[in-house]
Structure 1
Amino acid sequence: MKKITLLLFCLLTSTYLLAQKPSNESISITGKVVDANTNQPLEYATVVLKNTKTQTVSGGITDQTGSFNIKNPIGTYEISVEFISFKTIKYPVQEISSNKNLGTIKLYEDSSSLDEVVVIAEKSTVDIRLDKKIYNVGKDMTVKGGTASDVLDNVPSVDVDPEGVVSLRGSENVRILIDGKPSALVGLSGADALKQLPSDAIERVEVITSPSARYDSEGTAGILNIILRKGKSSGLNGSVNVTVGDPKNYQGGVNLNLRTEKINVFSNLGYSDNSGPGVYNSDVTYLSNGTIDSIRVENRDNERGRKGFNANFGLEYYLNKKSSITGTIFVRDSDGNDISKNNISSFDALDNNLYNSTRIQDEREEDQTLQFSLNYVNNFNENGHKLTVDLQHSASKENESAIITDINPETNATNELSIDNLLQADYVLPIGKNSQFEAGYRGSFQDLASDYVVVAPNLDPAYNPSNNLEFNQNVNAFYTQFGSKINKFSFLLGVRAELTNIDIKLKNTNENYNKNYTDFFPTVNFGYELTDDQSFTLGYSKRLRRPHSRYLNPFESRESEVIFSKGNVDLDPTYTNSFDLGYLNTWGKITLNSSIYYQHSTNNIARVNSQDIRIVNGKETNVLVRQPINLSSEDRAGFEFTANYNASNKVRFSGSFNFYQFETEGEYTYNVTEPSTGILTPITQNFNTKNNSWFTRFDAKITLPWGVQSQTRVFYYGPKNDAQSEREGILSTNIALSKDILKDKGTLVLNVSDLFNSRKYEVTSYAPSRENPTNITDQIFQRRMRQVSLTFTYRFNQNKNQKERKTGGNGNDDGGGEEF
């Protein structure tokens, strides 16, 4: 680790020296650009400075608050301020010899020019800012016809495994928000729900690795904030898209937006019908005193089919020029049919076949979600004095039933219902020109009921996983923070208090569990602008990981007779202290964002493999049980960098690299009961381990002849080992081709996901420990095969490159408050 730190220090130092520029006597031209009708800031407005003597042209763009700060040599300038669909303001030629503040510049809408504007500079796929990374989905062809899971899997620092589990910087404990808030769009089982949300409904994804006190403390690795599309352009406009693919992938979507002076109506409608083959093969070697006793081979073919409809309707009403109220309704209804065929063979130590069987699971699933949201925003003035109030109610229902045909046939069914309510209020008060005070409250309340029933004639009653769980979680949170900027130095200090109450009832066994805890979560963020092109950030935050209902529910999966996954009702939260040092540098056509991070977690939640002995086909058999437990601690340290290089208007490259080292300490003791004797045998597993892993990706966007756009993305995930498993490296390649047709109103995209069909997870697991295993499991898991799809998009009353105005009553599309 010392060598890595030294290497990174040298990298940052050399980058700093390369980026130094000769100093010239210069002045600053500042100001703020707003919509004259709503007084809301206009992000990405262009300020053009033309030196009348040298005829050179320079300038800049506004940030998310509408502000700009441009440094130029002393001279005589003609200044103009421009924004799409607004009338340009031009200032008379003037000599500027000292710093000049143009004040608040109000632009008026020019609807007559809306369809004539062409944006020359394309917004990059990844926008790098001091407090977050913003991944713009609209510019990424490789996710066309995909889902939210595909979008997240293409975000730098993020990985989505074959089961749909999302991780950030190698950690699965990441908080996923929709428009800055917890949402029913994530559903009862977030992984499956993300596969149902079409990529076309997503505008961008924000990666927040050092969240301020404004955000939930949930998520020790950080926050992924998914921002849905909400049109802001005047008049009626929208787009229609259709996708066909192989394996079966049929999708259709409509995005509509109607904006007038008093209202803004937006909607996203989508329908999908898809199916995909997958494989899961496992070889379990059973050992006795270090020698092979028997081998069990399972080759499972999965065919997953799903049909679904989702709709998001919103109406924003401008009460006056300073306030608005927005109502949103989200509906999702989907049906799934998953068939798993598991061919099982068992052999003795001499490779003699003991028996063969086929276990078929036919599972049907129905998911329904209904969510209502209400948002009120009052902008007291144009300087950022603001009050925001959010109300949200959602109900999610999930019904599953499965028929398992085998030597020992069985049926099982799961019925889940979750009612979630959210109340949130945020207040922002600017103090002077460079300081800001914030305070707020968030209350989230969840009531979940899960009834799981297994019926099997030959099932051992001692291991019947049937259960009826009631889960109630109430979290009341209060926060305050203060930030200021002093010359080139800025800071944001905050603290968040959260009061958590969790009640769990296992009705089948009449067991009750209650957990109450009150915690304080300080956050510290510093920034220093070395030059206009270079800046450093330093962040600290304390965060936690609450075990969700799926981790607490002790039901067992039933696809296999010898490999089970289950929850642990007695889990406690994990607490993590996170540190992040970042460096941003832009010179010429290259932008580099790098960071060093360190996380220390106590009471760490980890999924572990333990062994058990059960009667399988009339024989005592060692089985593998995978469940989450609390370990004592985990230390994680690493570094990452993201680089963008715009070689020309036709060639753009980007890449990212993340290396991390983790060290885990802890022991786990449990009892194994031998069915024939009833004797309890205690087993202690030591999980002390220290290892590292890395992953990287490379992206190339090239304009080919005849106006064809190409995009190639290559991923590689390095090998990863821990106390009980070894995972091989994974390579995957996506390519896409795009062509505009119908006078640029239509676009065709051909997308091939996992071109070489190489995205397979190969894992070897040891139980109870690597040093003294009683069984060794070799697994190969491929959830989805190579996918080829063709997407057609048609736009009406909007240009292909038209930027959306961020002028709604709240002036903030992400629901997460203003970033200081």
Structure 2
Amino acid sequence: MKKIQSVFLLLLLFTSIGAIAQGNPGNVTISGKLIDQETKQPLEFATVTIQKLDNTTVNGAMTDMNGEYSINIAPGTYNIKYDFISFKSVVVSNRQVNADTNLGTTVMAPDATLLQEVEIRAERSTVDIKLDKKVYNVGQDMIVKGGTISDVLDNVPSVTVDVEGNVSLRGNESVTIMIDGKPSNLYGSNLADVLRVLPADSVDKIEVITNPSARYDAEGGGGIINIILRKGKAQGFNGSVTANTGTPDNHGIMANLNYRGEKFNVFSNLGYNYRNSPGNSMTDSEYFDENGNTTSFINERRENKRKRKGYNATLGFEWYIDSTFSWTNSVSARNSNGDNPTDTYYYNYNADGSFNNTRYRFNSEDEEDRNFNYTTSFLKKFDGDGHELKVDANISRSTDDENSQIRDMILGSTNPDDSSIERTLNYEEEKRTLIQADYVLPFGENNRFEAGYRGSFTQKDTDAKAQILDENNEWQQNGNFSSMLEYNEYVNALYAQYGSKFGSKFSYLLGLRWEDSNIDVNLINRDEYNNKRYNNFFPSAFLTYEFSEGSSASISYSRRINRPRGFFINPFSSLQSNINVFQGNPDLDPSKTNSFDVGYLKKWRDLTLSTSAYLNITEDSFQFVRRTEDALPGQTPVTYSTPINLAKEYRFGFEFTLNYNPFRWWKLNGNFNFFRVETDGDYTWTYTNGNGEEVTDFQNFDNTAYTWFTRVSSKMNLPWKMDWQINGTYNAPQNTAQGRSLGIMHFNTALSKDILKEKATLTLNVSDIFNTRKRKNYTNLPTVSSYSEWQWRERQVTLSFTYRFNMNNQQRMKQERQGQGGDDDFNMGG
């Protein structure tokens, strides 16, 4: 099986490398801009060809994200031809060019006849590579049909999602997730659950920003991932409905409906889903005494039956008060509930390997999440050059109610002391308010000034109880796993940045952000009150050099912060296992990162290459440590996993991303990331052992690890209007201070076909074809050595059906072109 997987990955990797060609520069420049006649939007990646009068091609280029082009040629008389798929070609004949010439704005009209006849359908690139970000267009990815946002992220270049739902960017989990430019925790306090509930079909595109500028929130030492949800842009009533079914149970229906008039736009997103995500885990442990002698063995086997149903609804209204002023309001609500019955077996063996007994633990867990979110936004455009003011306000309320009852027993035993009944009660409530204002002022030829304010105010209360049923059938509190946590976070921020372009080659962007943080972390049940008040400056600097059309390099720097939240600080999470327990740390301090990045971008006609080298230096970085402490005399020691602040982390790496279109019907993209992580720090802790003695333990966490991961995707347009896509991902092994994680390889594939005169699409996808996506770890501690595997979700097969209202292929492509533009970032030449 491993050989087959390796062959799959190598075939995909080899086919992602193409030939590189480059034209010769001349001594005069032809420049201009292309726009869509109907939408007035710039046409990105349109082809501009310079030909002699005998139609011999001299040079050519593609337009950038603003629809602009610039081509170097020798002086002379030429024919200039503009081509863009699904548009009528435009030709400027017998144009004499003896000096630098700007041809102004050229308007291109859609070719409706060509659209009806073409069989290989035009599509935007799945991955759009820019110097400062990568934009992943979800609409063309069949792999995630019927899935969740978590599935979408796991197919994005540079991004990985582990089996627990934790998101990493370039292997760094200190990443900020945003939804429509706003913090994702506005949609719920448990990020992994939010990403697993919201459907993939609600996502338009994903922006990956590895080194954000000062205009962005400073949170997230590893960068920012911005999830942009769908909003209708086409005139009149249009939209789509997607229904899916699968095995294990994966059933749902999703509707994106929109009505747009001259003065307003009403958009909605409605969905229901029911999912069963069975998973499993195993841990084989060998325990030692203080002299290193084996005392016992325990083999733990766990099966999860995660069943969940969820509802989500968003309704929004845009009012175009006049041509320069718009007001948008939206309300969203989400409810998700389910159960996760978990069976855990502990097979206990004596020191000599002989069988002792089997302990069985059953955890019946029920959970309900509710979220309400209201957003209002004003946009005032002062002129047509990007001079604007935008003001946003957001109010969010979330609750998470999780309860479980746990029965623990030794199978075959009649001793009452060999069984117990426990329960956990966990209730979270979060209130969040966000106010943000951004002002943009372009001036002069190539200058731009930006400034803004952001206020983020969060209040979160967590009441977690663990109780055990005594011999009198009364519930007694277990103080070791009970807590009442109050978390208040108030962050006010101001920023300003200035960008300019001098000459035809250099551009720069300089910014400074100031954030004032006032944070309370209070353990009410222990009378522990802790206030953390600090303010910091976060500078950023970007410099770009454009070698030629489609070829540029950049160097950037930014300073970032990562504040601990959620389960990182919550002392108690769950008791699915009572010998391997995760425990948060309320005393965690924020980590701060200095991030450096050097990038290069090159675009050819059929190939785009983006590569970068990066260095992150993080102070007080979060590290998960495992420590073993005795429970009660004669019982198995408990192993705790806890995040702590270590002294320093150095992360250096390089990555490259390739987009290659060898033919119009075949698209390839690949991403490779290699990095080195060095940690420097020690950890000392004190605990009371089973004999009531206070014990101090110490561990040196100095460690250097090398690892890499790669992802390759191939998509083909087949005859009969069918598409086929396959993705392969490999995460290499990595050493840690306490053990080693093994490599993980998995593949996904999908097949789709347009039906009903191209008004509908039928898609079949298989996630984790070989059922190999499992986290595997070796852990070595002084008192225990273990090997573990964990599979959060088993192989999934999903069939989905999408029907589009009042939207044929031509309208689809027009809507996609309108969505190509679209961010307010300063253009750094990419």
TM-score, normalised with respect to structure 1: 0.91
C-alpha separation in 1, matches of 2:543 and 2:19 = 22
Of 531-540 and 298-307, the range deviating more from structure 2: 531-540
C-alpha separation in 2, matches of 1:264 and 1:54 = 50
SS of 2:201's partner is helix
CA deviations on 1:373-429 (whole Å, 9 max, x unpaired) are: 111111111111111111111111111111111122111111111111111111111
C-alpha separation in 2, matches of 1:169 and 1:131 = 15
CA deviations on 1:278-333 (whole Å, 9 max, x unpaired) are: 10111221112222100122111100000001112221111211221111111111
The residue aligned with 2:53 is: 53
What amino acid is the match of 1:471?
Y
Are 1:471 and 2:487 an aligned pair? Answer: yes
The residue aligned with 1:803 is: 813
C-alpha separation in 1, matches of 2:261 and 2:116 = 20
The residue aligned with 2:226 is: 225
Counterparts in 2 of 1:536 and 1:425: CA distance versus 1, 3 Å: same
Of 67-76 and 626-635, the range deviating more from structure 2: 67-76
C-alpha separation in 2, matches of 1:54 and 1:212 = 49
C-alpha separation in 2, matches of 1:114 and 1:250 = 38
The residue aligned with 1:210 is: 211
Counterparts in 2 of 1:585 and 1:233: CA distance versus 1, 3 Å: same
C-alpha separation in 2, matches of 1:83 and 1:345 = 64
The residue aligned with 2:261 is: 260
Q: Is the 8 A contact 1:115 1:798 kept in 2?
A: no
The residue aligned with 2:736 is: 722
The residue aligned with 1:451 is: 463
Shift of 1:549: 3.0
- Which one of the candidate residues 424, 434, 448 is aligned to 1:436? 448
Counterparts in 2 of 1:278 and 1:81: CA distance versus 1, 3 Å: closer
Q: Is the 8 A contact 2:631 2:637 kept in 1?
A: yes
What amino acid is the match of 2:559?
K
C-alpha separation in 1, matches of 2:280 and 2:18 = 49
Q: Is the 8 A contact 2:499 2:826 kept in 1?
A: no
Shift of 1:807: 10
Q: Is the 8 A contact 1:236 1:257 kept in 2?
A: yes
The residue aligned with 2:584 is: 567
Are 1:759 and 2:773 an aligned pair? Answer: yes
Counterparts in 2 of 1:35 and 1:417: CA distance versus 1, 3 Å: farther
The residue aligned with 1:770 is: none
Note the residue ranges of structure 2 that are not aligned, 5 or more in a row.
Answer: 1-16, 409-418
Are 1:510 and 2:527 an aligned pair? Answer: yes
CA deviations on 1:589-643 (whole Å, 9 max, x unpaired) are: 222111111111111111111121112xx62432111111000001011111111
What amino acid is the match of 1:465?
F
C-alpha separation in 2, matches of 1:760 and 1:672 = 33
Shift of 1:62: 5.2
Equivalences for 1:516-665 in 2 at 5 Å? Answer: 516-615=533-632, 619-665=634-680
The residue aligned with 1:6 is: none
Q: Is the 8 A contact 1:137 1:202 kept in 2?
A: yes
Q: Is the 8 A contact 2:488 2:519 kept in 1?
A: yes
C-alpha separation in 2, matches of 1:67 and 1:343 = 64
The residue aligned with 2:795 is: 786
Shift of 1:114: 13
Counterparts in 2 of 1:564 and 1:222: CA distance versus 1, 3 Å: same
The residue aligned with 1:415 is: 427
What amino acid is the match of 2:727?
R
Shift of 1:122: 2.3
Counterparts in 2 of 1:391 and 1:354: CA distance versus 1, 3 Å: same
The residue aligned with 1:3 is: none
Counterparts in 2 of 1:662 and 1:48: CA distance versus 1, 3 Å: closer
Are 1:480 and 2:496 an aligned pair? Answer: yes
Counterparts in 2 of 1:165 and 1:606: CA distance versus 1, 3 Å: same
SS of 2:548's partner is coil
Shift of 1:762: 1.2
Shift of 1:781: 0.3
What amino acid is the match of 1:481?
Q
C-alpha separation in 1, matches of 2:717 and 2:817 = 33
The residue aligned with 2:761 is: 747
CA deviations on 1:553-590 (whole Å, 9 max, x unpaired) are: 11142011111101111110101111111111223422
What amino acid is the match of 1:470?
E
Counterparts in 2 of 1:659 and 1:434: CA distance versus 1, 3 Å: same
C-alpha separation in 2, matches of 1:528 and 1:383 = 24
Q: Is the 8 A contact 2:168 2:175 kept in 1?
A: yes
SS of 1:706's partner is coil
C-alpha separation in 1, matches of 2:677 and 2:601 = 25
What amino acid is the match of 1:537?
S
Counterparts in 2 of 1:665 and 1:629: CA distance versus 1, 3 Å: same
Equivalences for 1:372-391 in 2 at 5 Å? Answer: 372-391=374-393
Equivalences for 1:147-296 in 2 at 5 Å? Answer: 147-184=148-185, 186-288=187-289, 289-296=291-298
The residue aligned with 1:495 is: 512
CA deviations on 1:261-286 (whole Å, 9 max, x unpaired) are: 11122222111011021101112211
SS of 2:515's partner is strand
Counterparts in 2 of 1:412 and 1:819: CA distance versus 1, 3 Å: farther
Shift of 1:721: 1.3
The residue aligned with 1:308 is: 310
Say what the alpha-carbon RMSD is for the aligned residues: 2.9
What amino acid is the match of 2:813?
K
CA deviations on 1:510-553 (whole Å, 9 max, x unpaired) are: 21110011000111111111111321111111111100132111
SS of 1:442's partner is strand
SS of 1:647's partner is strand
Note the residue ranges of structure 1 that are not aligned, 5 or more in a row.
Answer: 1-14, 768-772
C-alpha separation in 2, matches of 1:195 and 1:722 = 28
C-alpha separation in 1, matches of 2:56 and 2:264 = 42
C-alpha separation in 1, matches of 2:447 and 2:47 = 25
What amino acid is the match of 1:730?
I
What amino acid is the match of 1:482?
Y
- Which one of the candidate residues 390, 398, 419 is aligned to 1:396? 398
What amino acid is the match of 1:566?
Q
Shift of 1:651: 2.1
The residue aligned with 1:361 is: 363
Counterparts in 2 of 1:199 and 1:117: CA distance versus 1, 3 Å: farther
C-alpha separation in 2, matches of 1:268 and 1:52 = 52
SS of 1:156's partner is coil
SS of 1:343's partner is strand
C-alpha separation in 2, matches of 1:48 and 1:585 = 17
SS of 1:543's partner is strand
Of 529-538 and 72-81, the range deviating more from structure 2: 72-81
C-alpha separation in 1, matches of 2:455 and 2:165 = 28
Of 515-524 and 404-413, the range deviating more from structure 2: 404-413
Q: Is the 8 A contact 2:750 2:763 kept in 1?
A: yes
Of 414-423 and 70-79, the range deviating more from structure 2: 70-79
Q: Is the 8 A contact 2:630 2:689 kept in 1?
A: yes
C-alpha separation in 1, matches of 2:660 and 2:526 = 61
C-alpha separation in 2, matches of 1:260 and 1:267 = 15
Are 1:698 and 2:712 an aligned pair? Answer: yes
Shift of 1:811: 11
C-alpha separation in 1, matches of 2:827 and 2:227 = 16
C-alpha separation in 2, matches of 1:472 and 1:542 = 24
C-alpha separation in 1, matches of 2:18 and 2:663 = 24
Count of matched residue pairs: 792
C-alpha separation in 2, matches of 1:280 and 1:490 = 52
C-alpha separation in 1, matches of 2:63 and 2:320 = 24
Counterparts in 2 of 1:389 and 1:106: CA distance versus 1, 3 Å: farther
TM-score, normalised with respect to structure 2: 0.90
Counterparts in 2 of 1:83 and 1:283: CA distance versus 1, 3 Å: closer
C-alpha separation in 1, matches of 2:615 and 2:23 = 32
